[in-house]
Chain A
Amino acid sequence: DTGVSQDPRHKITKRGQNVTFRCDPISEHNRLYWYRQTLGQGPEFLTYFQNEAQLEKSRLLSDRFSAERPKGSFSTLEIQRTEQGDSAMYLCASSLGSGSYNEQFFGPGTRLTVL
């Protein structure tokens, strides 16, 4: 399968714990995006990378959130000291090119539940 993959698919954690999610984009795609989706809502932009550089972060991305894409390939999203409000589906998408107008290919998401 050559699509975007995310791991894990589901994560249940206790409040206050740290969690890390991984996204593997389509191999030649230079842009990688993270979104958060809550029930009944559309995906909300969190951050994006152009190769290894993190070029934009949403105000939704508090200090407890950090994302990396160390070699311009896979990316990780870490949430420290999780809160119940962090429960959501975290989506990763990738695209090829330098503009936001390019089609984004989405992964299946990681569903986080914070107890």
Chain B
Amino acid sequence: AQKVTQAQTEISVVEKEDVTLDCVYETRDTTYYLFWYKQPPSGELVFLIRRNSFDEQNEISGRYSWNFQKSTSSFNFTITASQVVDSAVYFCALTLNTGNQFYFGTGTSLTVIP
């Protein structure tokens, strides 16, 4: 069975602080894909990144960076110099190469305080 765990339910940081959102996944498949989505107060899920299980290179996109470690089954997301607009619920998700659905974590609600 597949499972995604986001142990941090809520995080609050002061603007300009760095923050890391944790994601741990479980699967026995060797080929899988990991995603991060952002859900702002408006409700619409916004795609942030996708990684496949064979690509462990970390990725940086502006203030966002992702650390994928197969050894610990983790795909963590760091926001550098957080801004108020980063306030949202962030979801980590897993899908299998052989499957047809996303398995979402329960989300981490991030509040950036000005």
Chain A residues with a Cβ under 8 A of chain B: 33, 35, 40-45, 48, 55-56, 58, 89, 91, 93, 99-101, 103-109
User: In which size bucket is the chain B interface?
Assistant: 20 to 34
Given A41-B107, A42-B107, is A101 in contact with B95 using a C-beta cutoff of 8 Å? yes
Contact B102 A103 (CB under 8 A): no
Query: Does B30 make an interface contact (CB < 8 A)?
Result: no
* Distance from A52 Cβ to chain B, minimum over Cβ atoms (Å): 16
Stretch of B11-19, B37-45, B64-72, B75-83 lying at the A interface: B37-45
What would 6 A/B residue contacts be, using CB atoms closer than 8 Å?
Answer: A41-B107, A43-B91, A56-B101, A89-B43, A103-B47, A106-B46
Residues of the A chain whose Cβ atoms lie less than 8 Å from the Cβ of B105: 42
Contact A99 B97 (CB under 8 A): yes
Query: Does B106 make an interface contact (CB < 8 A)?
Result: yes
Interface string of B1-17 (1 = CB under 8 A from A): 00010000100000000
Chain B residues with a Cβ under 8 A of chain A: 4, 9, 33, 35, 37, 42-47, 50, 52, 91, 93, 95-97, 99-107
Bound-state CA distance A44–B37 (Å) is 14
Residues of the A chain whose Cβ atoms lie less than 8 Å from the Cβ of B103: 45
> What 8 A-B pairs are tightest by C-beta distance, nearest first?
A42-B104, A45-B101, A106-B45, A101-B33, A100-B95, A100-B100, A108-B44, A103-B47
Contact B100 A58 (CB under 8 A): no
Bound-state CA distance A21–B96 (Å) is 28
Contact A104 B47 (CB under 8 A): yes
Bound-state CA distance A43–B43 (Å) is 12
Specify which of B33, B43, B96, B102 is in contact with A108 (CB 8 Å cutoff).
B43
A56 to chain B: closest residue by CB: B100
Contact A105 B47 (CB under 8 A): yes
Residue among B45, B96, B106 with max Cβ neighbours from chain A (10 Å): B45
